[in-house]
Amino acid sequence: MKKTLVLCIVLTVQSLVCSSQSITEQSNKLLEAVIKEQQVVGTSASLSINGEVAWEAAVGYANKEAKIEFKIDTEIRTASIAKSMTAVAVMQLVEQGLIDIDTPIDTYIPEFIQSNTTKITTRHILTHTSGIDAYKNEKEIENKVNYKTLLDAYAVFKDRELLFEPGSNYHYTSYGYVVLGILIEKVTNESYENYMQKHIWDKAGMTHTGIEKPGIKRPNSAALYHKNRKGKIKKAKANNLSNRIPAGGFYSTIGDLTKFGNALLSNKLVSEETLKLMCQHHSLEKVNNSYGFGFFLYGKSPNVGSIYGHNGAQTGSSTQLFIVPSLNAVIIAVSNTSGAGREISTVAGQLIAIAQNNG
């Protein structure tokens, strides 16, 4: 879902919530409505204020055929929320002086060959202004190949022409964040997975988050479903996420995603100064894309102030993370049904209104 659509949802739902009801009553009703209206198979959501979970719930099925209920600890694909975590990891290394975001990225990655006049930097990739293209076709989106390393995944697109001169335009791409994963490996001399485990997930207390790996079954993982444009929901065939791990190859739970948001608000992962830099609009005002470093910037609402976060959409998953610093609030909504981004982001937007009305 585009940032502008999510912002419209956030700003319009605030008048829909009645403050006379409790947080639990209001939140339960809006989550149950998504299932009642058959918009998704299973969903869960969470509202955290001041570092404490004010409400969380799960409804529907993690696996409809097996009659397994969707629960709070059901593991779902995070989709592009992974980009926010990767960006935070990169900025940790910037804080340590290991990366300069304005130095050509081939300084750190010799395999990254640059033939264009303007050299791609870490800043360009963080903000989707590098010119690196997105998936070429449906085959790449629904990838079936298992890439053993990030460099193997990079080989898929490394020889493709850039869409534009780096820094001159905006084009959202998961492939750019694959390069950031390689960058992390090069400057730390450890695997991307190990770095994320030690410096992001462990630091935030995220014990149910990791990289999805083909052939490994996890007992709490949700089955994958897809809703087509006519609203019909069918079970989806799993694609292989190894071509996009740093951009969208994780599994997690709403509890762990809430911990990630709270770790950002409490500066456990990066400093307050670094987070402010990540949440600044870059210089491409003409594009009006409002993307920082790994976060969509959802603008300012008169009631709740600045909002940043990320949505995600991939086979068997629709996700939304909102962080509202003025309310010290973290909002998560997820589903095991792709094609339901509008519905999931609407739930998350309504939870912002509930947090504001009960603040």
Predicted TM-score of the model (pTM): 0.93
Q: Are 243 and 154 in contact (CB under 8 A)?
A: no
User: In total, how many domains does the chain have?
Assistant: 1
What's the rounded Cα separation, in Å, for the pair 216 and 267? Answer: 33
Q: What is the pLDDT of residues 310-344, one digit of tens each?
A: 999 999 999 999 999 999 999 999 999 999 999 99
Q: What is the pLDDT of residues 111-152, one digit of tens each?
A: 998 888 899 999 999 999 999 999 999 999 999 999 999 999
Output the CA torsion 259→262→268→269 (10° steps). 70
Residue 14: what pLDDT? 44
Pick the range with the lowest mean pLDDT from 78-82, 286-290, 296-300. Answer: 286-290
* Cα 273–Cα 276–Cα 280 angle in degrees, nearest 5: 140
Residue 15 has pLDDT above 50, yes or no: no
What's the rounded Cα separation, in Å, for the pair 310 and 224? Answer: 21
Q: Which domain holds residue 74?
A: 3-357
The identity of residue 140, as a single letter, is E
Mean local confidence (pLDDT), 95-123? 95
Residue 157 DSSP label: T
Output the CA torsion 104→312→289→185 (10° steps). -10
CATH of the domain at 74: 3.40.710.10
